[in-house]
Structure 1
Amino acid sequence: MRMKARTLFTLALLWASATLSAQSFSDINPTPQQITADKAGKTIAWPLEARLSASSKTLSSLAGQELSQRVRHHAKARTEILLGIRGDKAIRRYTNKIPKHSEGYFLSIEPQRIVLAGHDEAGLRYAVRSLLEAEHEGQLPCGSIVDYPDVRWRGVVEGFYGTPWSHEARLSQLRFYGRNKLNVYIYGPKDDPYHSVPNWRRPYPEVEGQQIRTLVEEAKRNGVTFYWAIHPGQDIKWTAEDRDLLLHKFELMYQLGVRGFAVFFDDISGEGTKADKQAELLNYINREFVHRKGDVAPLVMCPTEYNKSWSRIEKGYLPTLGRELDPDIEIMWTGNRVVACIDKPDMQWINGHIKRRAYIWFNFPVSDFVRNHMLLGATYGNSLEIAEDLSGFLSNPMEHAEASKIALYSIADYIWNMKSYDSQRSWERSIVSLAGAQSSALRCLAEHSSDLGANGHLFRREESSELKDLLGRIERGSEVSLNDLRTLGDECLKLERSANILLSSRDNPALIAELAPWLRMARLIGRYGQEVISLEAAREAKPKAFAEIHAHILSLLEQMYEIDSSENQNPYQPGVRLATLRLLPALDATFARSVAAYNQAHGTQLSSATRYLPCSLSSDVAQLSGLALSSRGKQITISPSNEVIRWASGATLELQAVEPLELKSLEFDLGTKDIAPSFTLEVEQGGQWIALPLMQRAGKTLLRADIAPMKAGRWTRLRLRQTTATELQVYFKSWRLVH
């Protein structure tokens, strides 16, 4: 028995050592395909000096230069580092260990020998990157890695609406891509006037052009293909003149060093949406520019019908692209909807129509349709079985470049090694990678800043997941224990402290600058939550203190309103929203119940109001039904939509007033001229519907309601109805009602 016990104990130690050694590779992102840990858990000191065995060409490559910055060559050093790509003499004996896969590599760490062997130059660069990331506190784990990516093209498309990233933010992003083995960046910010209208035909001014040249050079240093995208579809003319102007613009970008090009036809209407014309133009560019240059990456296009919900297969748009577009041109795709996760049936459906593997444009963590939210949660929901079904996978991020790195870290992990992807583990690692010593504080904030709130794309994320059950019971009014309330109070204290810690942090100034409005809101929400718990406790134990705590809560709510009304005041979804899915609703419900019970017991009329909307929105147009309502003073607004709205015949947008409201003015913008005759606007008064004429100036897109036909009094319902016999394609740029 003793011998058996000793054997089991020894095996347990060996297993634990192997596990620890494998875990010491855990800083490597993305997760390698195969790790073989040293069974004894050996480590070696990072070699400051080593015999670098490699060709002069390899030593002068990007991989060789990066390694040489950390390791000095010394002919008599004890440790030898073998460096090369398939076929090189230095690593020939390890050829069979190198995966036969583009960008693959073999890495081996032994007490006196390190092997870095790539299938190609990119693979060698990734081997060096993994070696650098494996180092922890001056030690390297012994073992080996066989690694390669699941997906050929992996990266980011800066394709959001709103404030484009700064030059410094883009440089930081490109370095981040290099560290995380992403190999594509598409420059395509919607609000760059030289990418889209009005100046896509014109060259960049000298300063902006030089910045792009600098970005291209930084991309090359980090193994990233820099794509420049053009968005000509809003006003393109299918003429030889416009074709040549577009080609000339590409030539100018080529002279700036760009070696990847994309053409976007998304979010447009009218003449530019014709599939046959798009294919004709793109094929011409592909043959006369991409193929002739010889050193340009595959041409990428974003189609007009870039998701399944917009596709009209019977009208032939996607089949035309599949049939007529050159087979080496990549076609981007967002999934079943504009914002959606991707699964196997999605890929099979689209690939069958476009006759090639789709190039995914994943609209996460982009927040240009919910700009009052910061999206810091885990990246989950995409199938782990689609690696063979797609040619590329790119994320569209937030305008907050640094905060986007939480999601981008995990996206790099997912598309490199899908079968091993663990969204929760990857999220935890991403926060540590970004925040370091303040990772616990950032994690707390991110836990309550994940959901998007109501939105026209109907895309939601889980939030406050660790307290999900408790918060749900509290919001529903179920009985909760004193310990439950203490748990909630502890979480609110943690949120307040985390916000304070981050606000005073100097470790990542760019991140804190982006998060600052949300951190100030988080600090108030945390304090509000603690006071709500104190209020509930005081209701029976200390009734005299109740009024004082209640007054403080009203003050906190006022301060929260001030932040929401004064910070992040973009023209689309202004304000600062945090913890809106679970934490705030639970706190508000607790506050309301406490005040109601106190009022009943003491005959008082203390207010329990927190946030109030004077009306609700409904629509049988799916793209409008999820848009968020906002109310500031006497003004009611509806969040705009970034996409083309398909408004069916007879479909309506309706507002239902909580209490009868006056209508002093109403104006809205459907982004379309001469559209007023296609809609009817009505208000309900006293059970009767009254039509209000719509006024629209010639050549303008703004519509105004003529409220003269209204009788004296207030309205209870207001509806806008599409009255033509066919579906209309319009926009929803603004809605402003004053009551």
Structure 2
Amino acid sequence: MTPELGIIEGFFGRPYTWEERADMVRALAPAGYGFYLYAPKIDGHLRRRWREPYPDATLEALAGFAQACRDAGVRFGVGLSPYELFLNFDDAAKADLAAKLAQLDSLGLVDLGVFFDDMKGALPELAPRQVEIVHWIAERSAADRIIACPSYYTDDPVLDRVFGQRPANYLEDLGAGLDPAIELMWTGEEVCAREFSPGHLARVAEQMRRKPFLWDNYPVNDGPRMSRHLHLRAFTGRPAAMSAEISAHGINTASQAVLSRIPALTLAESYRDGDRYQYVAAFRRAAREVLGPDLADAVERTLLLLEDAGLDVITAEQSERLKARFGAFDHPAAREVLAWLDGAFAIGAEELQTQ
């Protein structure tokens, strides 16, 4: 059984264009991708500057994209990260939040994400404060579905090192306090999980008191380390049996909008084929569908350089050969490879701190 699949545009760095977003929706909807959560880290009006209203031009562009989603039969949603709101949820903050919700409601959004990730979290009353905020939002938003992302959305201890030690029983308290209709996101045993097991997901569901809404950090390739690589290979480590343990499966796509469609298509195939799934064959089918036979062959022949070696290992001579090879194609995916080779998608540590 295939769960509800969708796209989460939740990465740091260079965002997609509106045309790229609409093209992705139209390309992946036939494969079963039924929702799109717009939440790029670079959009300050959803994050550190969430109190500021959207400019009219941006709101108009968002409305156009929302319509493109509706035309494709895809649920349109926005991920709002009200930065450190839980530190002071006073009347002024509530007024600012109500104004932002009204703007978002004007877009006709179906899903609203309330994200508490990437913020300091070592507070003893963190869970009840976040429960209060999410319920306050749910009472005022016109969205059909509210999806909350916890501050500690994985077992990975890296979050405790960066944002402070998670409060005891945080996930259990959050799950116990939230209305059962509200979804809760989870990225797995790690921030970028290598695999998911039904047993792990069942354990998390027990803690949350609901099945996790999966935020899968593949093929995302942001950050100083990952942006040096293209993530193109097919999905592995996502057994079809896990579909019974999750409420939905959203993938955080790579910075390269067209190339991201290749692994995205393989995830749909892995659920469809179950135990018969073969990841190399799935990659080849998806690559040919997205790129055409010749460009797909060029990508497969250079996977070891593009995905495994990366920019820190590729020599100047190899880079020139790659530019010559992909420069021969008039295709947006080839242009993404060329831009990546030129460093256009590179992300520094400072962007992780400021976006």
- Structural mapping, 1:109-148, within 5 Å: none
How big is each residue's C-alpha offset from its partner over 1:579-598, in whole Å with a ceiling of 9 and x where there is no partner?
xxxxxxxxxxxxxxxxxxxx
- Structural mapping, 1:362-373, within 5 Å: 362-369=216-223, 370-373=226-229
Q: How many residues align?
A: 338
Match of 1:234 among 84, 99, 103: 84
1:210 aligns with 2:60: yes
User: What's 1:256 paired with?
Assistant: 107
Q: 1:208 to 1:426 in 2, by over 3 A?
A: same
User: What's 1:268 paired with?
Assistant: 119
CA shift, 1:177, in A, is 2.3
TM-score by length of 1: 0.43
CA shift, 1:238, in A, is 1.6
Q: Tell me, what secondary structure is at the counterpart of 1:315?
A: coil
Q: What is the RMSD computed on CA atoms of the aligned residues?
A: 2.9
CA contact (8 A) 1:159 1:396 kept: yes
Match of 2:267 among 402, 411, 429: 411
Match of 1:278 among 130, 138, 142: 130
- Structural mapping, 1:502-521, within 5 Å: 502-506=326-330, 508=331, 510-517=332-339
User: What's 2:179 paired with?
Assistant: 326
Please give the alpha-carbon distance, in whole angstroms, between the structure 1 residues aligned to 2:96 and 2:288.
47
Match of 1:305 among 120, 136, 152: 152
| Larger RCO of the pair (alpha carbons < 8 Å, separation 6+) | 2
Q: Tell me, what secondary structure is at the counterpart of 1:379?
A: coil
How big is each residue's C-alpha offset from its partner over 1:236-289, in whole Å with a ceiling of 9 and x where there is no partner?
522233234223312211112222111100011058881111111112222x23
- Structural mapping, 1:518-557, within 5 Å: none
Q: Tell me, what secondary structure is at the counterpart of 1:380?
A: coil
User: What's 1:435 paired with?
Assistant: 291
Structure with the largest fraction of strand: 1
CA shift, 1:499, in A, is 5.7
Structure with the largest fraction of helix: 2
Please give the alpha-carbon distance, in whole angstroms, between the structure 1 residues aligned to 2:59 and 2:268.
29
CA contact (8 A) 2:262 2:286 kept: yes
Q: 1:298 to 1:419 in 2, by over 3 A?
A: farther
- Structural mapping, 1:55-134, within 5 Å: none
Gaps of 5+ in 1: 1-148, 456-491, 522-562, 573-638, 643-670, 672-732, 734-739
CA shift, 1:450, in A, is 2.5
Larger radius of gyration: 1
1:568 aligns with 2:344: yes
Please give the alpha-carbon distance, in whole angstroms, between the structure 2 residues aligned to 1:449 and 1:515.
8
User: What's 1:385 paired with?
Assistant: 241
CA shift, 1:391, in A, is 0.2
Q: 1:217 to 1:277 in 2, by over 3 A?
A: same
CA contact (8 A) 2:15 2:40 kept: yes
Q: 1:349 to 1:641 in 2, by over 3 A?
A: farther
How big is each residue's C-alpha offset from its partner over 1:87-114, in whole Å with a ceiling of 9 and x where there is no partner?
xxxxxxxxxxxxxxxxxxxxxxxxxxxx
Please give the alpha-carbon distance, in whole angstroms, between the structure 2 residues aligned to 1:309 and 1:246.
31
Please give the alpha-carbon distance, in whole angstroms, between the structure 1 residues aligned to 2:110 and 2:55.
20
CA shift, 1:420, in A, is 4.2
Match of 2:282 among 426, 435, 453: 426
CA shift, 1:436, in A, is 0.8
- Structural mapping, 1:498-647, within 5 Å: 500-506=324-330, 508=331, 510-517=332-339, 567-568=343-344, 570=346, 572=348, 642=352
Please give the alpha-carbon distance, in whole angstroms, between the structure 2 residues aligned to 1:442 and 1:263.
37
TM-score by length of 2: 0.86
CA shift, 1:500, in A, is 3.6
CA shift, 1:201, in A, is 1.8
CA contact (8 A) 1:243 1:281 kept: no
Q: 1:313 to 1:304 in 2, by over 3 A?
A: closer
Gaps of 5+ in 2: none
**Identical aligned residues as a percent:** 24
How big is each residue's C-alpha offset from its partner over 1:446-487, in whole Å with a ceiling of 9 and x where there is no partner?
3542237799xxxxxxxxxxxxxxxxxxxxxxxxxxxxxxxx
Please give the alpha-carbon distance, in whole angstroms, between the structure 2 residues aligned to 1:171 and 1:338.
27
Q: Tell me, what secondary structure is at the counterpart of 1:411?
A: helix
Q: 1:452 to 1:355 in 2, by over 3 A?
A: farther
Q: 1:313 to 1:348 in 2, by over 3 A?
A: farther
